[in-house]
Amino acid sequence: MRRHLNRVLPPSSMKIAVEGCCHGELDAIYKHIAQLESRNKYKVDALLVCGDFQAVRNWRDLQCMAVPNKFKELHDFHKYYTGKKTAPILTLVIGGNHEASNYLWELYHGGWLAPNIYFLGHAGCVRLNGVRIAGASGIFKGPDFRLGHYEKVPYDAGSMRSIYHIREYNVRRLSLLSSSQIFLSHDWPSSIEHYGDLDGLLRRKTFFKEDVKKGTLGSPPLMGLLMNLKPEWWFAAHLHTRFEAMVLHDEQSDNAQAKNPDEIQIDNDVLAADQPMKSDVGSPSRNPDEITLDDEEETVVVPLITPPSTASKTKFLALDKCLPRRDFLEVIDIDTTNTNIAKAEAHVPLLSFDPEWLAITRAFHPWLSTTRHQPSFPEEIEARALVASELEWVEKNVEKDTNGAIPVMEHQSFAMTAPGPGSEGADKSKQPPWYTNPQTEAFCRMLDIPNKINPPPTTREPTKTPAGS
């Protein structure tokens, strides 16, 4: 199902399709977009997917996905990965909480999952025809938020889940962006339900009532990012329902909301209830649409935010999962009149790296931890000074095209690392090995940083079990 927002087309714009949870149903999603294009006589320029994409290359990847065995199905992605099919439109993806986490880890900094299908990374920001699109993969869980990325293949039952729990490291990096026109997340920002038709939401999803009453629906760090970045659009999924909201940003409060990573609702008082609270199996707060894992249910106490008045606004839209008679897809018009992309090239969307994000990646790379221990982050003033310095480095050292853009395809090209289905043999039920992804290698070469994610065997440290895991 689909509704169409912004019916008046701007002078220069892109048509963007936005999908909620994909759950591997790529064929159905692309077919639906083609039907919309035929019916409405327009062309969709790109597709944004808000998580649970399920980039499963083969049966062994399924052993790295945190879902009950009855949900372990190959679905459609492997056909696009192996070249049997090609994505008909440029597709940008973030991760959710039901993913082949081993493959998404290979492309931690972002990369092509398949031809014409690009993963923004565990956190990332790119430009599409000059429009800044940022995203945060995964979901929030308090006890893992301040840890490093310690998880390694083969995953145990705990690390298979914790690997998709968003880390403070990525929230802090995203908070250093000066702006973003579009933001993608899987989780909802906490308390966003109070900025839309809450009564209508609760009529459709009665099991949300207890979480809304306690103020525990959604992710506290994401609401901090929303208030900090003030994007024009925020798209999300995860809760399997369509929901619109509008957040008005008060100009007078801008100075008070200092852009300090420490002030993005990630302080100790926000995470005071870090310990998970299990719901009873028959609890009305359980979403029957969601694939529920025993350790996923948690309460985090967050003060409700009073909607501010006047000034800029963020339009929030959450969408459902891809099923018949569900509101799983939306087509919107995004203004590109202020970009540096020539009109003659507008029919071919240009995906490029965002220079500021590249600077942030370089600046914060020393704090990227691959153990449970996360070193203390720099203070805000130091962090912003580091980013400013690294932005100068990016401007001098990363090659641009004639329009000043840094095309992704000039630096990263899709390459298969694992085989497609059918070659697993007796290892079908085993987790796969750790692959070095040439796209991650290329990204790190571009920024002149070491590959901490999946270095080649000659430079890789022996895999160790972190203390306390």
| Residues 218-239: tens digit of each pLDDT | 999 999 999 999 999 999 999 9
Which amino acid makes up residue 115? P
pLDDT score of 114: 98
Residue ranges of the chain with per-residue pLDDT less than 50: 1-4, 6-11, 252-285, 294-311, 342-344, 346, 462-469
pLDDT score of 226: 97
pLDDT score of 272: 33
Q: Under DSSP, is residue 225 helix (H, G, I), strand (E, B) or coil?
A: helix
Q: By the 8 A CB rule, do 145 and 266 touch?
A: yes
Q: C-alpha distances in angstroms, 136 versus 98, 203, 306? A: 15, 29, 24
Q: By the 8 A CB rule, do 318 and 243 touch?
A: yes
pLDDT score of 6: 45
pLDDT score of 427: 85
Contact residues for 208 (Cβ-Cβ < 8 A; gap 6+): 193, 201, 202, 217, 239, 285, 287
DSSP class of 349: P
CA angle 181, 187, 190 (to 5 degrees): 90
Based on C-alpha coordinates, what's the Rg of the chain?
21
Contact residues for 381 (Cβ-Cβ < 8 A; gap 6+): none
Q: C-alpha distances in angstroms, 453 versus 110, 139, 200, 363? A: 11, 20, 44, 17
Q: By the 8 A CB rule, do 414 and 434 touch?
A: no
CA atoms of 389 and 188, how far apart (whole Å) = 33
DSSP class of 426: G
Work out the number of other CB atoms within 10 angstroms of the CB of residue 288.
8
Q: By the 8 A CB rule, do 71 and 63 touch?
A: no
Q: By the 8 A CB rule, do 61 and 432 touch?
A: yes
Q: By the 8 A CB rule, do 351 and 58 touch?
A: no
pLDDT score of 255: 35
CA atoms of 333 and 6, how far apart (whole Å) = 6
DSSP class of 314: E
